Amino acid sequence: MIFQKKNWLTSLLTLKGSVIPKVWGRVVITMIFALIITIMYQSGLTWIHQSALSSLIPSVVLGLLLVFRTNTSYDRFWEGRKVIGGIIISCRSLSRQIWVNIPEKTAADTEGKKSAMLLLAGFLIGTKLHLRNESVDGKLQSIISENQYLELKEVNHIPLRIAKWIGDYFRQAYDLNYIDSIQLSTYNQILDSMVKDETACERILNTPMPPAYAIHLKHLLFFYCFALPFQLVATLSWTTIPAVGIISFALLGIEAIGLEIENPFGYDPNDLPLDKMCDRLLFDIKELLTSDSRKEYLVDRDIPASN
């Protein structure tokens, strides 16, 4: 999903991101059924017109069910965006804290700091892979060590293992007296917040809409759409066919939108752009690693870099 401004006509004619590819087959089936009913009516079978079917499934009831379905799915989508955003905020905050506050007394300290900062981007990448039930990919492999890569291939929960490594780095910095107990506590609280947000993503993923509700809504949509020709054929005649198609497209499209955004962590056009989010966070952290503002600050004040 990419947010960009489009004019009205462009949006009208765009298929990517719309639900047309998902519902057109079902809409065509309803129109074919409407064609059959219309032919039967025009052949003299006037009894096929049954206006009483309009009260079979009240439109208000069906509308409320569809609205509830869509709103529930959007709540899941929006909550997913908030918790992913929370992870990004925490990663950026921790990367800045590490870069500015943890000293570098040896070359190993510098490499350890860089590795820890890259692990923050790895946490978001690992979260994406975990939510999609995928193994370690090339992007994550490129920012971790060979031993870490081999270890991640054997674990079931990639982001949790990465969080452990980040916590180990903070503990090591504390043992070396590079940070005090207050800083250690603060960093671990932010790390806990990252794990909490990742767990919230799992909750969204593993708690789908109850099947009974989804199945019942499909039943109601089926009966409603296939009852339409019987109600409209006497009034609209051959126009019944496109009318049924338009109404079916509206109702089935709303249901399809709810289904698509129910899990916001996949690859559908309307899902969260997790790949781009991961790339952006990794770019920001790498940009921070190449910044020399800290060195300039120390040189201007004649402060040793190890302090």
Q: Give 66's DSSP letter.
A: H
Residue range of the domain that includes 74: 22-39+50-289
C-alpha 29/C-alpha 269 separation (Å) is 25
- Give which of 252, 250, 230, 249 is closest to 240, Cα–Cα: 230
Does residue 304 belong to any structural domain of this protein?
no
Q: What is the b/e burial string over 195-211, where b = at least 16 CB atoms within 10 angstroms of the residue's CB?
A: bebbebbbebbeeeeee
Per-residue pLDDT of the chain (307 residues; tens, 9 = 90+): 444 556 777 777 777 778 888 899 999 999 999 999 999 999 988 888 887 666 666 777 788 888 888 898 999 999 999 999 999 999 999 999 999 999 988 999 999 999 999 999 999 999 999 999 999 989 999 999 999 999 999 999 999 999 999 999 999 999 999 999 999 999 999 999 999 999 999 999 998 888 888 888 888 899 889 989 998 898 899 999 999 999 999 999 999 988 888 899 999 888 999 999 999 999 999 999 987 644 443 444 343 444 3
In this prediction the pTM is: 0.84
Q: How many domains does the chain have?
A: 1
Decide if 176 is inside a domain. yes
Of the candidates 225, 305, 254, the one whose C-alpha atom is nearest the C-alpha of residue 56 is: 225
In a domain, residue 294? The reply is no
8 is a domain residue: no
Q: Is residue 4 included in any domain, yes or no?
A: no
Domain assignment of residue 82, yes or no? yes
Contact predicate 270/80, CB 8 Å:
no
Residue 144 placed within a domain: yes
Q: Is residue 268 part of a domain?
A: yes
